[in-house]
Chains A and B, each alone.
Chain A
Amino acid sequence: MSLLERESSGVVMTTDNIRSQKLHVGLNIGIAAAALVVGLALAYGFGIGNYVLGVVLGVVIYLIGLQIVAGRIEGRRAARDRMWKTLIYAACVLAILPLASVVWTLISKGAGRLDGNFFGSSMNNIGARDPEGGAYHAIIGTLEQVGIATLMAVPLGVLGAIYLVEYGRGKFATTVRFFVDVMTGIPSIVAGLFILSFWVLIVSPWFNNGTPRFSGFAASLALTVLMLPTIVRSTEEMLRLVPGPLREGAYALGVPQWKTILKVVVPTALPGIVTGIMLAVARAAGETAPVLLVAGGAAAINFDPFAGGQQSLSLFVYQQAGDASRYAPARAWTAALTLVAIVLVLTVAAKLLARRNSLSK
């Protein structure tokens, strides 16, 4: 008798018991169906809830029933394994459900205004009784603001991360790292207020004969403040994953450090860096508060990000959702759908681009 057999009840180590019975799939489905019926019967029978409660009860009953039946057939260990596996699958389904629900709601409610007018016109001269009106100005605004913010945040963030990983030693680097961590938690409205008090109220009058003014560029600045820490942190993590021997391999060929970073380290980490950047871009595209504070939102098309108020898609959604017009909610839904689609397209495009550079094609 081995130590395991003596000390752990249920362990039998002979060649006769390495086979065990498996729970039949049909029986499994049977238990599930029975559990669902019982769950629904309980929910409706006692009048304590509708089909949602019924399904929840059904799942709980199914897990218990599965454990009991499988325990009889397969043994305790196998049954416990089966129950945990089922729980994990259930958790996965639960996590995906809200996501699928969001996408479905967006598509079903947003499809109504998915027409040329929506993408071709602004809200200029659109009254509460007009069913037309679109988000052309908001799309322009989002693309310009997020584009400019990306142009500013990506070089700064990536270079900052390279400094932290490859060069940063001592107190200064530690301080920078600490403040980047702190900045990650900045609420977007605080970033908006900062740009409002700093850029819009103090700096912008210098360029506008002493009068402060809103601009899309101010929104870009606020978005940059929000994107920077995300980009620095994710890029830093990705660069740290590049093995040291790769750098040493390049040094040993007499390649200078800056070229090693540029040609060996960054390309190796590129797919991860791009993912981090896209997370930051997606966050920036969805920000409403800073745009509201420093760009103001506008009903008309404004191509110039440096002068005058500008709209953005998320702000447009916010305004239309709160509008009294009966035609406004449909515009809000379509704008939300458009925003998600833009972020999706950008993400997919960036991933494809990043992959083309490496050899994994």
Chain B
Amino acid sequence: MAKRIEASNVSSYYGSFKAIDSVSMVVEPKTITALIGPSGCGKSTFLRSINRMHEVLPNARIEGSLTIDDQNIYDPDVDVTAVRRLIGMVFQRPNPFPTMSIYENVVAGLKLNGVKKKSVLDDAAEQSLKSANLWNEVKDRLGRPGAGLSGGQQQRLCIARTIAVEPQVVLMDEPCSALDPISTLAIEDLMFKLKDRFTIIIVTHNMQQAARVSDKTGFFSIDKTGDPGRLIEYDDTQKIFSNPTEKKTEDYITGRFG
């Protein structure tokens, strides 16, 4: 199920502004990869390039190639919607659909893609909510609005919504930045559980989190404001946090910079 992702020389632009400069990396299936680096260095832009969410913004474009199991998702004949079905995404701020109940939020991806059978939807909702560690908290109020949950619950609801469509890769853009430590821990536990089924790439500002959850870590940085972000170092998490090759990486993770 889970897929291998290979980025080669990916550069992303906002209009004439180059946000990231030729990033190349390989993400193996069923691993968690963390992307770290100072604000504005292009981690999120790179993440959004992986499921073609980057181009939703006006004038945004991309160069280079991004393959998922040797299929270049930026080929002209590729259907964007199909790509996004394969590669799900969890955003920085929880964004449950305000007009839908908890149940409708979880099955939104299935329902809007044409699944109609109630029994299938019910099953999927329960399974996804259980995977997202949310089932016990909401099973008695599935008909209530999704926006009425607490921030941490909403984020887990969004994760349940994402995994309900069973994508092969899950991208997470600082999923815990708005959450308290307990909710953060719940989501980290969840990521370990999901690792068996999905390839996960997570952007985080929390270095302990990167060290705790990820197998591999990529460090992004910029030289100065206005320059494009670059991938400085990409290696096993163990190595990055104990014995990084690059001086810049060491400065960042030890807190001397950024």
Residues of A within 8 A of B (CB): 169, 243-256, 259-260, 263-264, 267-268, 270, 357-360
Q: Is the CB of A252 within 8 A of B51?
A: yes
With A169-B58, A248-B56, A248-B91 as contacts: A253 and B97 at CB distance below 8 Å: no
* Cα distance, A277 to B37, chains bound together (Å): 48
Count class of interface residues, chain B: 20 to 34
Question: Given A253-B109, A253-B112, A255-B81, are A357 and B99 neighbors across the interface (CB < 8 Å)?
Answer: yes
Q: Is the CB of B88 within 8 A of A263?
A: no
Which of B81, B82, B88 neighbours the largest number of chain A CB atoms within 10 Å of its CB?
B81
The 8 Å CB contact of B84, one of A169, A245, A253, is A253
Q: Write 10 A-B pairs (CB below 8 A) sorted by A numbering.
A: A245-B93, A246-B95, A248-B89, A252-B89, A253-B165, A254-B82, A255-B108, A259-B112, A263-B108, A360-B145
Smallest CB-CB A-B distances: 6 pairs? A254-B85, A253-B109, A252-B89, A267-B99, A359-B145, A249-B95
Most buried by B among A357, A359, A360: A359
Q: Is the CB of B99 within 8 A of A358?
A: yes
Residue in chain B with minimal CB distance to A264 = B97
CA distance A249 to B95 in the complex (A): 7
Q: How far is the CA of A259 from the CA of B51 in the complex (A)?
A: 19
Contacts of A254 in B (CB 8 A): 81-82, 84-86, 88, 109, 113, 165, 167
Within 8 A of A (CB), among B59-102: 81-82, 84-86, 88-89, 91, 93, 95-101
A253:B161 contact, CB within 8 angstroms: yes
Take A253-B161, A254-B165 as given contacts and tell me if A359 and B81 are in contact as well, using a CB distance cutoff of 8 Å: no
Minimal Cβ-Cβ distance residue in B for A360: B145
CB distance from A277 to the nearest CB of B (A): 18
Residues of B within 8 Å of A255, CB to CB, are 81, 108-109, 112-113
Out of A169, A244, A249, A251, name the residue touching B97 (CB < 8 Å).
A249
Q: What's the dominant secondary structure at chain A's contact region?
A: helix
Chain B residue with Cβ nearest A254: B85
Pairwise interchain contact B161-A359, C-beta atoms closer than 8 A: no
In angstroms, Cα B214 to Cα A122, docked, is: 80
Rounded to whole angstroms, the CA-CA distance of A360 and B91 in the bound complex is 25
Contact present for A251 and B98 (CB under 8 Å) = no
A246→B99 CA distance, assembly (Å) = 11
16 additional A-B residue pairs with CB within 8 Å, beyond A249-B91, A252-B51, A253-B85: A246-B98, A247-B56, A248-B56, A248-B89, A248-B95, A249-B97, A250-B97, A250-B112, A251-B53, A251-B56, A252-B53, A253-B84, A253-B109, A253-B112, A253-B165, A254-B86
Chain A contacts for B144, CB-based, 8 A: 359
- Residue of B at shortest CB range from A262? B112
Q: Are B95 and A253 within 8 A (Cβ)?
A: no
Complex interface: chain B residues within 8 A of A249 (CB): 91, 95-97, 158, 161
Chain A residue at smallest Cβ distance from B81: A256
**B177: shortest Cβ distance to chain A, in Å?**
14
Q: Tell whether, in the assembled complex, residue A359 and residue B85 are in contact, meaning their CB atoms are under 8 Å apart.
A: no
B84 touches A251 (CB 8 A): yes
CA of A359 to CA of B145 in the docked complex: distance in angstroms? 6
Tell me which of A251, A252, A260, A359 contacts B99 (CB under 8 A).
Answer: A359
**Most chain A CB within a 10 A radius of its CB, from B88, B99, B112, B162:** B99
